[in-house]
Amino acid sequence: MAELRLNSPLQYVKGVGPRKSAVLTKHGLDTVEDILGYYPRQYLDRSNIVPINELKIDQPATIIGEVKAHGVLYGKAKRYEVILADETGNISLLWFRGVKYWERLFKKGMKFAVTGTPSYFQGLQLLHPDLERIDEHSDQMVHAGRIIPVYPQTSELSKVGLSSKGIRNVTSFVFDHLSEELDDYLPKTFLSKHHFMPRHTAVARTHYPDDRDQLESCRRRLAFDELLELQFLVARNKGRKASITKKRTYQPPGDMLTDFKNGLLFELTPEQKKATREIVADLQGERPMSRLLHGDVGCGKTVVAIAAALYAAENKFQCAFMAPTEILAQQHYRNWNEFLSAVGAVSAILTASSSAAEKKKVAQKCADGEIDILFGTHALIYDYVSFERLGLVIIDEQHRFGVEQRGKLYAKGEDPDLLVMTATPIPRTLALTLYGDLDISTIEALPPGRQPIRTVWRTDDVRDKVWQYLRDEIKSGGQAYLIYPLIEKSDQSNLENVEDAYRELSAGPLSDLRLAIVHGRVKPKERDAILEQFRIGKIDILLATTVIEVGIDNPNATVLVIEHAERFGLAQLHQLRGRIGRGGKPATAIAIAHPPVSAIARQRLEYFAEQGDGFLIAEADLQLRGPGEIFGVRQSGLPELRIANLWQDRQLMEIGRTLLEPMLTNPENLDSDSHKLYNYLTRKARRRELNLGGG
């Protein structure tokens, strides 16, 4: 086809056809406009190819060479080596993970463009470099002398010839034959005032930039677009919630709530009391509550949530309390059932591993209104579970649930009040954007008696000293966690795994101690039995994966060892650290890193060792990793941020708020430019068909 329009089907683009088109459709790419939004994940800078003999230590570079030899090297750590050569010399390429994958990839005589940062150890080397295969049919000559886009890949795309090179063929053809430009919904005066690129230029140059400086200008414009859509969605949802009037009324707190507080073995902190007052005021209000309760690990959010559930029960309303794991749901029920029963509230638990008879019994009692507070996992959303008068929904670690799961639970009542909790402290910048439709209660201070956890990071060559430290700590009456990234050995990586470690340590260095193992494949009843044995002190060391990241509460645990700590994000390291030091005894967290440790991993580990404040940890993680995985942006139902970074782009969010405020407060009296923008954002929001927060 000679010319392409934005709505032209990709099937008819040269080189695509029906087979490739079907795979692209599975990835949400149907039209020419869709492929324009499939942004590169990184770039290969071939604008300055460096001969191997001119490479400089610690200076990133791109080389092109031929594979002269390749194979597995054995030693302290198994690794895969490729000798790459050009006419000026040769260099060693090394990978410490995925050995079997690299064995299948390389053949002698292949040519590759390789990008990385040279280092020196018994010769020049590149560790874990980026690769792009070059063959006789390569588009190298087409793209030589410029920056090349590298697109997100899946095995399915690669199988049909849509590797990064294949997608480049499609995008370059599209830009060469596109007969129209992307419409810009932002006014020209606004673009000029804030120095934003026109939308079409930003998209085109994101795919094929002239230089690195231009890339940042493109990124800034597209990041603003993402954040503007995100802010509009949240604000729109907040407006929807504000239009609902609930049919429930609450009396002032009575004897049940008072007796509960008096029966606690501790005094609530000022911040816990403040959060409780805010929730009680919301429950008494005319609009359904939508509140986020967040704070650092161990700050005491759960007791505040239990008080809210009890206040609902006191007013004859039921509460659904949903946790992301059976471990956490069981712990909530075990910790609070006795307290609730003592003041006259009936609680029960329902999880996927409950017996069929128990599920039927609990569901019937809940439907009849005989259960005041029902704890559970995602089992609560199943159709067989119903409530006679659901008034309050509490969701713990809410970012671990998808928007659809939350919506199904919420729909079991008539606009119930909603309290969501997270133990991941959220920086204010992010909270205002992701949770702008929620009121926010923050608990920063830890309860009295909690001591700072001593934290260190070491490389794996000190492991014998770590084992001796564990023995000494256990002789003194402590217990320990050993955390591993994998359940079992993987052909795709060289990481330590919990099953091999359990066998080796039980028969070797720690054979004189009582060890046990839990991970995601251990059956729930067996896992619960192991955790109970650990809790009552019959197990010295619990080996686990990150399944224990939330929900394990053993006050006697005083040591945490994290293997391959360089592979974890800051927020997750901090969550794991929160498993120890819960009983007032001094506690130590030891992060063990396995070389090679990248510069950014070293930065994370050093910050982890120095900083114990969860809010500062969260801000640092936001800078290092972005918000998607940390705070569950994908799970929230909000659009994924592919370009924007909520820390880096704080100024863009302020610009967006200024732009949106008049059109959200007075949408009936907009000028033509603002009306165009409002209609565009409204169409985007409707297509998402979201019902955030409450559903």
Rounded Cα distance, 310 and 346, in Å? 10
For 340, counting Cβ atoms within 10 Å of its Cβ (0-12 exposed, 13-18 middle, 19+ buried), the class is buried
* Of 433 and 524, more confident: 524
Domains of the chain: 42-150 (2.40.50.140), 255-443 (3.40.50.300), 454-611 (3.40.50.300)
What are the tens digits of pLDDT across the range 310-322?
999 999 999 999 9
Residue 335 has pLDDT above 50, yes or no: yes
Q: Across the chain, what does the average pLDDT equal?
A: 86
Residue 632 has pLDDT above 60, yes or no: no
Paired sense of beta strands 118-120 and 111-116, if any: unpaired
Residue 595 has pLDDT above 60, yes or no: yes
Contact 517, 544 (CB under 8 A): yes
Contact 618, 299 (CB under 8 A): no
Picking from 407, 414, 413, the residue whose alpha carbon sits closest to that of residue 635 is 407
So what's the pLDDT on residue 399? 62
Rounded Cα distance, 70 and 93, in Å? 9
Residue 148 has pLDDT above 90, yes or no: no
So what's the pLDDT on residue 695? 39
Paired sense of beta strands 79-86 and 89-95, if any: antiparallel
| DSSP state for residue 136 in the 8-state scheme | T
Q: Calculate mean pLDDT across residues 75-99.
A: 90
Residue 629 has pLDDT above 60, yes or no: no
pLDDT band at 618 (very low <50, low <70, confident <90, very high): confident
- pTM to 2 decimal places: 0.70
Contact 434, 636 (CB under 8 A): yes
What are the tens digits of pLDDT across the range 561-586?
999 999 888 888 998 998 898 887 89
Percent pLDDT > 90 in the chain is 49
Contact 377, 352 (CB under 8 A): yes
* Of 376 and 646, more confident: 376
Tokens of 94: 């090394």
So what's the pLDDT on residue 693? 42
The residue type found at 388 is E
Rounded Cα distance, 678 and 239, in Å? 15
Residue 38 has pLDDT above 90, yes or no: yes
Rounded Cα distance, 365 and 169, in Å? 62
Residue 434 has pLDDT above 70, yes or no: no
pLDDT band at 356 (very low <50, low <70, confident <90, very high): very high
Residue 441 has pLDDT above 50, yes or no: yes
Residue 249 has pLDDT above 90, yes or no: yes
Percent pLDDT > 70 in the chain is 90
So what's the pLDDT on residue 430? 66
* Of 168 and 627, more confident: 168
Rounded Cα distance, 595 and 60, in Å? 20
So what's the pLDDT on residue 691? 42
Residue 631 has pLDDT above 50, yes or no: no
Residue 468 has pLDDT above 90, yes or no: yes
pLDDT band at 196 (very low <50, low <70, confident <90, very high): very high
pLDDT band at 427 (very low <50, low <70, confident <90, very high): low
Picking from 231, 293, 133, the residue whose alpha carbon sits closest to that of residue 660 is 231
pLDDT band at 143 (very low <50, low <70, confident <90, very high): very low
